[in-house]
Amino acid sequence: MNSLRAYRSTIGLTSNLWLLAGFLFLLSLASGCDSQNANSAGPAHTGAEESRISDDDRGNGNASLNPGKKPEVLIIGDSMMQFGIGPALKKSLESRGYSVQYFVKKSTGLTWTHFFDWQYKSQELLSLGQFDVIIVMLGSNDGRWLKYEGKRLHYGPDVAQWWQQYALRFDEFFGRLCNETRRVYWIGMPPMKPEGYHNKTRLFNAFYERKIQNSGCGSYIHTNYLSKEKPVRWSDGIHVSNSGGRMVADRIIKETGL
C-alpha cells in the first residue's frame, strides 16, 4: 500500500512538473512573438519616415530630373557664342555630367528674320528636350534695320519706334524661353575694340539687363571684365579667342552655380 501511495505521489509530481514546463514553454513563445513584433514595428516605422523624407527632398528639387542625372542645358547664340565661349562652355558643362544641346549661327539676331528666324528656331530647339537651364548670347548683329509694316525701319539709338518694335521681338523670344524654364541666363557682350561698335553694344547690353530684371525671369550676366586685346580676343577686338572663351565659361559656371 505504501508503495502504491509513493508511486501515485511520484506520478502526480511528474505531471505537475510537465504542466509547469509546458506553461513556461508557452510563456517563452508569447514573449518571443511580442519581441519580434516590437522589433519589426521599428523598421517599418523608420521606413515610412524615410519614404516621407525622400518625397519631401524630391519636392525641394526638380521632380522632372532622374536621380543622379544632371539636368539638360540648351546653349544658343550668334558668332559671339560660336567662337571661344560656346565650345568652352559646352565642354565644361559636359565634363560635369550635364546633357547639352548646342546651336549657334553667325550673323543672326532678332532683327533680320528674313535671313534667320530665331522665333521659329527657338520653338524647334525647345521641343528637343526638357531643359532645366538655357544660356543665350545674342545681340551683336541687331543694330540694323528691321521690317515693320512692310517697310524698313532703320535703327538709331534714339529711334523710339525701332526700340518699341525690337522690344516686342525680345519679349516674344525671351518669354518663350521663360515658359520652358525659370533658369535663363543671358550673356552680355564684352567690350569691343571698334569705338562705334562698342558704344552700340553697350546700349543693347543695358536694354537686355533692364528687360531681364523687370521680367522676373532669368538673369543677366555681364562680361565687362574681358579685355579687348589678345590673347583673349581675336585681332578684330570683337570675337573671343579660345583662351578668352575658357575664361568666360569659367565665370558663367561660377556665377550660375552650374
> For 171-183, how does the pLDDT look when each residue is reduced to its tens digit (9 = 90+)?
999 999 999 997 9
Average confidence (pLDDT) over 49-65: 30
Please give the Cα distance from 226 to 224 (Å, whole number).
6
Average confidence (pLDDT) over 195-207: 98
> 186 in helix, strand or coil?
strand
> Which 8-state DSSP code applies to residue 85?
I
For residue 89, give the amino acid letter. L
> For 25-34, how does the pLDDT look when each residue is reduced to its tens digit (9 = 90+)?
334 434 443 3
Cis peptide bond prior to 71, omega within 30° of 0: no
CATH fold label, 72-256 = Rossmann fold (3.40.50)
What confidence score (pLDDT) does residue 54 get?
Answer: 29
Question: Among 37-46, 51-60, 236-245, where is mean pLDDT lowest?
Answer: 51-60
Please give the Cα distance from 29 to 178 (Å, whole number).
66
Record the cell numbers describing residue 51, joined without a space.
519614404
Record the cell numbers describing residue 240, joined without a space.
573671343
What confidence score (pLDDT) does residue 226 get?
Answer: 97
Which spans in 61-117 are helix H?
79-80, 86-95
Please give the Cα distance from 169 to 119 (Å, whole number).
8
> For 100-128, how does the pLDDT look when each residue is reduced to its tens digit (9 = 90+)?
999 999 999 999 999 999 999 999 999 99
Instruction: End-to-end CA distance of the chain: give it in Å, rounded.
Output: 101
Question: What does the domain layout of the chain look like in residue ranges?
Answer: 1-61, 72-256
Residue with cell 526638380: 62
Question: Among 33-42, 61-70, 244-253, where is mean pLDDT lowest?
Answer: 33-42
> Which 8-state DSSP code applies to residue 83?
I
